[in-house]
């Protein structure tokens, strides 16, 4: 059942109980006071008659006359209880009436001066109200048929019932308005809670609600906003986790893919070698192949471990003032043969003010040897130059070549793990696809950044910035 209806019914039940009790009480009081009033009136009339009942007066004609005047039955009873006169009976029948000395109202009047009684009349057989007062000669008694009193009472009662019905209707109207007033904001509150629960937008719809309901609505609204915030935070966290999971999966797939080829080669050649029929002169060749593939796997694993160490923060750079000329000489010394084979000249362009870099020496060696190796690999008959420049807050170290260049669409991804523009060429020349990724992480560990610019057919520039104010984190 609806709340409004329930409230209305409950209020109506209360009102009904109230109205009925009030009507019953008034009814009872009314009945009493009408009867009292009748007794009082009758007593007054009886006293008037009593004044006139003196010795020497014909009692029966007095009763008749008084009965005529008051339109009530009047009975005059002497002290012995004999009926001396009665307005309803004439002389002849008076003697037939029994002695009235034992009637309760008569006995009462004789002892206290006044008596009344409500009972069946043995003379008329109807419900009568008797009122008796004492007089010097006996007792004057008036009686009235209660039907007369009842009819007065009935008229008054109708008024009371009408008032009851009217007040009930008014109260019902009021209860209906009240029930609506109370239930409306609660119903709105329910709708609000439902819309919040189903993920809908909360709206401050419960504006005209009274006190606590209004507060409850505000609380629900507040909950909804909180919930929204929490949910979107959760969403963000979830998509971050999904991304991480994808990265992890890609990584595992990439590593497996990189290791599969050399592993297949190694196991295949090892199996062949285990055959005693293999001619001696070929054994060395097979062993060489096995060795070079094992070295390739070794390099992949070493570089992955390096990368993980830097990425996880387990490795921290120990910065010092490093002379770039020194490092260039060192790195070039390992690359001279490869450069000569490809007709590439190795150069430096290191101005005096940008001669020194605040960085970890091993890291900057690793960075430069990676960049030089890449540059020589992608250049023929040109030059590879180590360039430094000084800016306000950093020293830029770049390796510039006059080689193949990198197509625009690949440029943004070359720093990703295992990303290569030409995987075959990279593998054939011993690349792992991890070099630039290591460079990027080393630079970032120094608080620096990497960037690449390239023009296909003209050459490439990979630049690493080292902030001058870099402090080793403690
Ligand atoms: N100087 C360069 N010129 C042209 N392409 C380059 C150069 N340096 C890097 N690249 C491209 O970027 C890719 C990623 O480089 P890197 O991470 O060092 O891997 P690897 O050298 O092992 O292939 C290379 O495979 C190559 O395609
Ligand atoms: Mg490389």
Average pLDDT taken over every residue of the chain = 90
What is the tens place of the pLDDT at every residue in 299-328?
999 999 999 999 888 899 999 999 999 999
DSSP string, 235-255: HHHHHHHHHHHHHHHHHHHHH
Question: 433 alpha carbon to ligand 1 midpoint, in Å?
Answer: 7
Strand partners for 115: 132
The SS3 of residue 462 is strand
What is the tens place of the pLDDT at every residue in 275-297?
999 898 899 999 999 999 999 99
- In 257-371, DSSP assigns E strands to 320-323, 345-349, 356-359
Of residues 228, 234, 160, the one with CA closest to residue 195:
228
Q: Whose CA is nearest to atom 7 of ligand 1?
A: 374
What is the tens place of the pLDDT at every residue in 183-236?
887 887 788 788 877 776 655 566 666 677 778 878 888 888 888 899 999 999
Q: Quick check: 213 and 189 in contact, CB under 8 A?
A: yes
The structure tokens listed for 433 are 């696809």
Q: Quick check: 60 and 122 in contact, CB under 8 A?
A: no
Question: What is the architecture, at CATH level 2, of domain 3-151?
Answer: 2-Layer Sandwich (3.30)
440 lines ligand 1 (CB under 6 A): no
What is the tens place of the pLDDT at every residue in 405-431?
999 999 999 999 999 999 888 888 888
CA 341 – CA 380 distance, rounded (Å)? 9
What is the torsion angle, in degrees rounded to the nearest 10, for the CA atoms of residue 218, residue 224, residue 230 and residue 236?
-140
Question: 340 alpha carbon to ligand 2 midpoint, in Å?
Answer: 19
Q: Residue 474 gets which letter from DSSP?
A: -
The structure tokens listed for 326 are 């020194």
403 lines ligand 1 (CB under 6 A): yes
> Which backbone phi and psi does 282 adopt, to 5 degrees?
-90, -20
Residue 405 CA: which ligand is closest? 1
**Residue partners of 84: CB distance under 8 A and separation at least 6:** 59, 60, 63, 76, 77, 78, 94, 137, 138
pTM of the predicted model as reported, rounded to 2 decimal places:
0.60
Q: Whose CA is nearest to atom 9 of ligand 1?
A: 374
CA 253 – CA 171 distance, rounded (Å)? 80
Q: Quick check: 449 and 319 in contact, CB under 8 A?
A: no
Q: Quick check: 262 and 427 in contact, CB under 8 A?
A: no
**Residue partners of 341: CB distance under 8 A and separation at least 6:** none
- 230-312: CATH topology: Helix Hairpins (1.10.287)
Q: Quick check: 123 and 97 in contact, CB under 8 A?
A: yes
CA 153 – CA 130 distance, rounded (Å)? 18
Q: Whose CA is nearest to atom 21 of ligand 1?
A: 431
Confidence of residue 116 (pLDDT cuts 50, 70, 90): very high
226 lines ligand 1 (CB under 6 A): no
433 lines ligand 1 (CB under 6 A): yes
Annotated domain spans of the chain: 3-151, 230-312, 320-467
CA 33 – CA 31 distance, rounded (Å)? 6
435 lines ligand 1 (CB under 6 A): yes
Confidence of residue 473 (pLDDT cuts 50, 70, 90): low
Residue 461 CA: which ligand is closest? 1
Task: Count other C-beta atoms under 10 Å from residue 266's C-beta.
Answer: 18
Same fold, 3-151 and 230-312: no
Question: What is the architecture, at CATH level 2, of domain 320-467?
Answer: 2-Layer Sandwich (3.30)
Query: What's residue 204's pLDDT?
Result: 56
């Amino acid at each position: 059942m609806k709340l409004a209806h329930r409230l209305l019914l409950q209020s109506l039940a209360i009102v009904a109980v109230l109205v009925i009790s009030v009507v019953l009480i008034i009814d009872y009081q009314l009945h009493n006071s009408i009867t009292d009033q009748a007794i009082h009136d009758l007593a007054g009339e009886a006293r008037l008659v009593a004044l006139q009942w003196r010795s020497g007066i014909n009692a029966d004609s007095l009763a008749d006359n008084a009965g005529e005047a008051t339109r009530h039955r009047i009975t005059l009873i002497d002290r012995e209880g004999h009926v001396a006169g009665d307005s309803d009976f004439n002389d002849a029948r008076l003697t037939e009436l029994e002695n009235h000395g034992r009637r309760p109202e008569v006995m009462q009047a004789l002892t206290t001066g006044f008596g009344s009684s409500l009972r069946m009349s043995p003379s008329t057989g109807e419900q009568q109200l008797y009122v008796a007062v004492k007089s010097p000669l006996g007792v004057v008694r008036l009686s009235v048929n209660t039907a007369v009193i009842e009819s007065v009472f009935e008229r008054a009662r109708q008024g009371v019932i009408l008032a009851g019905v009217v007040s009930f209707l008014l109260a019902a109207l009021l209860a209906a308005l009240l029930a609506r007033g109370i239930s409306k904001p609660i119903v709105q509150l329910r709708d609000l809670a439902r819309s919040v629960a189903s993920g809908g937008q909360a709206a401050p719809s419960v504006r005209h609600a009274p006190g606590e309901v209004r507060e409850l609505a505000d609380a629900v609204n507040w909950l909804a906003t909180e919930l929204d915030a929490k949910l979107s935070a959760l969403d963000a966290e979830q998509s971050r986790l999904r991304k991480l999971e994808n990265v992890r999966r890609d990584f595992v797939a990439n590593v497996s893919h990189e290791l599969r080829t050399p592993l297949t080669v190694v196991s295949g050649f090892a199996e062949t070698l285990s055959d005693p029929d293999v001619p001696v002169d070929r054994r060395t060749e097979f062993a060489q192949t096995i060795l070079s593939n094992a070295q390739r796997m070794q390099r992949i694993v070493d570089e992955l471990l390096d990368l993980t160490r830097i990425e996880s923060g387990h490795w921290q750079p120990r910065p010092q003032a490093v002379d770039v000329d020194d490092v260039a000489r060192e790195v070039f010394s390992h690359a001279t043969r490869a450069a000569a084979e490809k007709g590439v000249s190795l150069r430096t362009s290191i101005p005096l003010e940008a001669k020194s870099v605040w960085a970890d020496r091993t890291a900057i060696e690793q960075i430069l040897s990676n960049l030089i190796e890449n540059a020589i690999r992608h250049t023929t008959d040109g030059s590879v130059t180590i360039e430094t420049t000084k800016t306000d807050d950093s020293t830029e170290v770049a390796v510039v070549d006059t080689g193949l260049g990198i197509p625009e669409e690949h440029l943004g991804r070359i720093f990703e793990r295992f990303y290569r523009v030409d995987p075959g060429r990279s593998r054939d020349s011993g690349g792992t696809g991890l070099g630039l990724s290591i460079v990027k992480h080393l630079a970032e560990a120094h608080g620096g950044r990497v960037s690449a610019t390239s023009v296909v057919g003209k050459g490439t520039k990979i630049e690493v910035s080292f902030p001058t104010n870099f402090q080793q984190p403690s």
